[in-house]
Each structure stands twice: as C-alpha cells, then as structure tokens.
A and B are shown apart, each in its own frame.
Chain A
C-alpha cells in the first residue's frame, strides 16, 4: 500500500467522522428546540382552554369544583412589587459599590464570594431561614412581608450582579468627562453613569422579576399556603382583610400550583393546575418580551442614538 492511499483513507475517515458528528450535534440541538416547543405547546394547550375571566378572578376552592386563581394571582403580583421595592435600592447600592468603590483585594474577593454563595443557596434553605428568622423570631407570622424578605435574599445577588455589569459597561470617557467638570464621584454615578446604565438595569430587573414571580419553595415557609378571605374594596394596608395588608398570609400562583398538584382535593385539580401553569408561563413570556423590548426602547430614549440622527 502506498502512502498516498493511506492518506486518502485517513482523510475519508476523518471526513466521515466529521459528517457523523455534525449530524449528531445538529440532531441533539434540534431536539432541545423540539423539547422546548413541545413543553410550551403542552402547557399552553392543556391550560389555555381553562383560562377565562372567571378563572382569573374567582377564589380557589379546596374541595368543590370550579376554583379560580384570583387571590393567588393578585398575591404573586403584589409580592413581586413588595420584593422589588426592597431589592432594587439594596441591589443598586451593592452593585455600585462593587463596580465603583471596591478596590481589588481580599475584601472585594470576599464580597464576591458572598454574592456567589448567596446566589447558589437552594431556595428551600432561604425559605427555611425565612421561617426561622422572619416568621418565628421576628414575629411576622406567615405573611407577605416575610415572603418578600425571603425573595429579597433570593433576588439580591442577581440584582447586585446586574447592577455591577451595567455600571462597568459604561464607557470610561463618560466618567472622565464628569471628573473634568469637577463633579463629585457620587454625582457622576447618579447623574452620568446611572442614566447610561438604566436600559440594561431595566432589562436585568425585569428578567429577575420573572424568576421571582415563579419562585415557590422559598415561599412555602414564609408567605404561607393560605390566603384569608379578602375584601377587594378595602385598600387600607392596615386592615386585616385588605389585599394590601403586608402582614397577612398569602398563597401565590406558584405555591398554589404546587399545593393543587400535591394535595389538591378538588375533582378538577389537574385542570386548575394546568390553567394556573399556563398563566404562569404566559407571565414569564410577557416578562421576557418586556425585558427585550423595554431595554431596547429605553436605550434609544436615554442615549444620544436618537438625538444624534
């Protein structure tokens, strides 16, 4: 056998291996797309038929048929607002510190480790911590506030990272221009860098909100699994039956799905879970679209890309 034929053989083999590998990789990648579309289709197909105005607004039933998801849906949204009110200022501060004030060294490395550890804690551990500290020790009971605080812990590392990234991607020249104008560092951060960072901050925050919206394990032990009868005409946050009262227990959409699936007694539990899951997925889709669209629109609005042209 000459060297030439050996070479040709090796080359054909290599080419065949290349073809086979490509086919396998493409098939696996496409199977992921198929899985995703299948799952989305399955959830929406199973659930959409069950969603109507009555389902979205009426109260859940424990034993009888025909329960809705009105209060859980409201609780989820309200809890999200409460969480964001606590998380955003704290996360912004932490992220700005990491990006503008932290000097490379042991302390900064330690804070980075803290953020990493905090973001890797299982949400059930954070829920248990909330149960121990907020619910029992601080005496909040199962309440929206305890839930919001637990979700804050869950969300804070993400918010810090988003802020840090948004601020470090602001061009150096912007900062230097501010320094040249004789502004204080804090003034530069708040009035020059923050507006530039806002579009990516908004995108990140909305995506984080989507994650918070679907969280359940941390809420089982903090905001509880029940909702007291609510009086939706009473908007005084201090009244015990007011939906806005932060010290009442609240079952959210995600915990409701879990409860219905694992201990639901209603005969139509599966349909309710399907409908509620579809609502949850649609909300996540909306959050995703909003994040993309909102970030882009804000970027055009806040930067010179529109005024220059």
Chain B
C-alpha cells in the first residue's frame, strides 16, 4: 500500500500543521471564554454583594420592611433613628415619570422628523446633534441645571428654583437622545410598502403616520421610553445637584425633594461601613438594582410583542 511507506517522521511532519491549528483554536476558545466567564462573574458578584448588603438592614439591624418602604421619615442620624425611604422612592418615581412625559413627545417628533418628513436634513443635522447630546456628561447637565434652569424657574415660575421640576427638566434633556435614537431606528426599519400602501389608499402623511406607522412601531417606541426611564431612574449627580435634597414627599413641582440616588450620593461618604445608617443606604441601592431588573423585564416583554 502507498501510505504504508510513510515513515513515522514524515507522518509527524504532516501532522504538525494540524497540531498548530489545534493549539491556535484552543488559545482562541480559552481566551474568549475566559472573557465571557469574567463578564458573568462580574454580574453575579454585583448582584450578590448589593443584595447581601441591602438585605442586612432588615435581616441584621431589624428594620421592618414596612418602615423602609412606607415610612415617611428619613433620619438615620437622629437619636431615635428612623429609616422611612418613601420620600426618596416617591421622588425617584416622580422625576422619572415627569422626565418621560416631557421627553417622549419631543423625541418621537424628532424621530418622525428624521425619518418621515425631512430625512436629508434630519440625518445630516439632527442625528449628529442628538448623538452629541447623548455624549455630554451628566455633571455638565447638572451644571446647566444649576446655572440655567434653576435661576430661570426661580425668576419666572416661583419657588426656590431647585426642586422636582428642575430635576425632571434636567433628566428630560438627558433622556431625549435615548428615546429619539430607539424611535428613529424603529421607524427607519419599517418596510417601505407599509407607507406606500397607505398613500395609495389616498391617506395624507399625517394619517399614514398616525394610523399606520405609529401603531406598528408602538412597542419599539415604548421600549425607547422605558430605556430612557431606566436611565433617568438611576441618574445620580445631575439630579442631586438640582433637586434640593429635602427628605420630604413633595406636594408641588417647585418643592425640594430627594431621590434614592441623591440620598445615597450624599450619605455614603458620611457613614461607616457596616453601620445601620450605611446598610440603609445599601438597601436603597438594592431598590435601584431591582428597579433595573423591572425595567429590563418590561423591555423584554415589549420586544416579544414587537416580534409578533
């Protein structure tokens, strides 16, 4: 037989490239897998550490869940400390919802403008403008809020300027780009035939947008809004700078309030690790983290609806 003449040395020489092959693939697989495992390890440890510290308030220090979630008095340093986080939780939800209410119509209009009305101008001017807007750091938005929005509100609307209204305005500018880009992507990916069919039936552009385009992309629009709300809910420094940080449930938009993030930002540096005051702040971080999961869950549900 022909191949029986191959000497062992020759056979090894022929096998060599294959060995190198295998080694290379092995290196690649190991390297990329290690990266992914690291990613998973990071998230597992974040969830573990934040949860274990956040639960300690209730498990170790014996603060009741009812007191934390429904108590309206936040005074961790007082002689008779109380840990009612309701004002901060209310504040977080309030500014988030208000910001979404202000930003959504603007964003959707911008997305419609970019895709349906003036695509060339939209792509050339509005798109880069919005990308830029999303790149501006949050402390700069906080600074703008402090030096532009707060004095404006104080002089023209009333109150001290700082407060829920200022916080919501700053946040709404911050989440504008998020909602706009998601909405614009969704609108741009609609099949052309959909619009053409509507025009062929004699519909005007607004009728097409209102009756055909918007209902079709509604889940995607909602996804964008939820993404924006997730960002607003977790934003810390910009809000902290303009909201006034008063530990009460606000009764008007011009009143000072506080959010979960602002309380954590201000309090974390002044408490000792492991103390009850510190653990209470970690419980707030746990609430923030759980809310992130809720937002992601909502987004996933919306995406599932979007697919069908």
Residues in chain A within 8 A of chain B (CB atoms): 14-15, 17-18, 20-22, 24-26, 28-29, 31-33, 35-37, 39-40, 42-43, 46, 89-94, 96-98, 100-101, 111, 113-118, 120-126, 128-129, 131-133, 136, 153, 156-157, 160, 182, 184-187, 189-190, 207, 210-211, 213-217, 220-221, 254-255, 257-258, 261-262, 270, 273-274, 277, 280-281, 284-285, 287-288
Chain B residues, Cβ within 8 Å of A111:
36, 39-40
The answer on a CB contact under 8 Å between A120 and B268 is no
Kindly list the 5 A-B residue pairs having the minimum CB-CB distance in the complex, ordered from nearest: A122-B234, A214-B137, A93-B35, A186-B28, A29-B113
20 additional A-B pairs beyond A21-B205, A28-B113, A125-B292, beta carbons within 8 Å, are A14-B206, A21-B206, A26-B117, A32-B180, A35-B173, A90-B35, A101-B29, A111-B39, A114-B43, A118-B39, A124-B261, A124-B285, A125-B288, A132-B53, A185-B25, A186-B27, A261-B139, A261-B142, A280-B137, A280-B140
Chain B residues, Cβ within 8 Å of A29:
109-110, 112-114, 117, 122, 126
Chain A residues, Cβ within 8 Å of B27:
186
The answer on a CB contact under 8 Å between A221 and B268 is yes
The answer on a CB contact under 8 Å between A18 and B237 is no
Assembly CA distance A54 to B48 (angstroms): 47
* CB neighbors of A among B114-153 (8 A): 114, 117-118, 122, 125-126, 129-133, 135-140, 142-144, 146-148
Assembly CA distance A288 to B177 (angstroms): 15
Q: Is B270 an interface residue (CB 8 A)?
A: no
Contact of B36 among A28, A97, A288 (CB under 8 A): A97
Assembly CA distance A235 to B132 (angstroms): 35
Given A124-B261, A128-B285: A216 in contact with B117 (beta carbons within 8 A): no
Q: Write the nearest CB–CB distance from A140 to chain B, whole angstroms.
A: 15
The answer on a CB contact under 8 Å between A126 and B113 is no
Q: Is B306 an interface residue (CB 8 A)?
A: no
Q: Is B49 an interface residue (CB 8 A)?
A: yes
Chain A residues, Cβ within 8 Å of B118:
26
18 contacts between A and B (CB under 8 A): A24-B109, A25-B117, A28-B109, A29-B114, A32-B130, A36-B132, A97-B32, A113-B296, A115-B39, A117-B292, A118-B39, A124-B261, A133-B49, A186-B27, A214-B135, A214-B138, A261-B241, A273-B143
Q: Write the nearest CB–CB distance from B156 to chain A, whole angstroms.
A: 16
Assembly CA distance A186 to B31 (angstroms): 10
The answer on a CB contact under 8 Å between B106 and A28 is yes
Looking at chain B's contact residues, the main secondary structure is helix
**Which A-chain residue is minimally distant from B31 (CB atoms)?**
A93
The answer on a CB contact under 8 Å between A217 and B237 is yes
Chain A residues, Cβ within 8 Å of B261:
122, 124, 217
B 141-169 to A, binary, CB cutoff 8 A, 1 in contact else 0: 01110111000000000000000000000
Chain B residues, Cβ within 8 Å of A90:
35, 38-39
**Which B-chain residue is minimally distant from A157 (CB atoms)?**
B39
Q: Write the nearest CB–CB distance from A212 to chain B, whole angstroms.
A: 10
Chain B residues, Cβ within 8 Å of A133:
45, 49
Assembly CA distance A46 to B137 (angstroms): 17
The answer on a CB contact under 8 Å between B207 and A261 is no
The answer on a CB contact under 8 Å between B241 and A33 is no
* CB neighbors of A among B179-235 (8 A): 180, 203-207, 209-210, 227, 230, 233-235
Chain A residues, Cβ within 8 Å of B74:
none
Chain A residues, Cβ within 8 Å of B136:
39, 214, 281, 284
The answer on a CB contact under 8 Å between B206 and A123 is no
The answer on a CB contact under 8 Å between A184 and B25 is yes
Assembly CA distance A26 to B113 (angstroms): 6
Chain A residues, Cβ within 8 Å of B288:
122, 124-125
The answer on a CB contact under 8 Å between B25 and A17 is no
The answer on a CB contact under 8 Å between A121 and B46 is yes
Chain A residues, Cβ within 8 Å of B68:
none
Q: Write the nearest CB–CB distance from B17 to chain A, whole angstroms.
A: 8
* CB neighbors of A among B263-306 (8 A): 264-265, 268-269, 273, 282, 285, 288-289, 292-293, 295-296
Chain A residues, Cβ within 8 Å of B57:
none
The answer on a CB contact under 8 Å between B49 and A261 is no
**Which B-chain residue is minimally distant from A185 (CB atoms)?**
B25
Chain A residues, Cβ within 8 Å of B39:
90, 94, 111, 114-115, 118, 156-157, 160
Q: Write the nearest CB–CB distance from B131 to chain A, whole angstroms.
A: 7
Given A22-B206, A94-B36: A36 in contact with B129 (beta carbons within 8 A): yes
Assembly CA distance A217 to B235 (angstroms): 8
**Which B-chain residue is minimally distant from A116 (CB atoms)?**
B296
Contact of B264 among A18, A28, A36, A128 (CB under 8 A): A128
The answer on a CB contact under 8 Å between B144 and A22 is no
Chain B residues, Cβ within 8 Å of A26:
113, 117-118
Q: Is B21 an interface residue (CB 8 A)?
A: yes
Q: Write the nearest CB–CB distance from A166 to chain B, whole angstroms.
A: 15
**Which A-chain residue is minimally distant from B128 (CB atoms)?**
A288
Chain B residues, Cβ within 8 Å of A156:
39, 42
Chain A residues, Cβ within 8 Å of B17:
182
The answer on a CB contact under 8 Å between B32 and A101 is yes
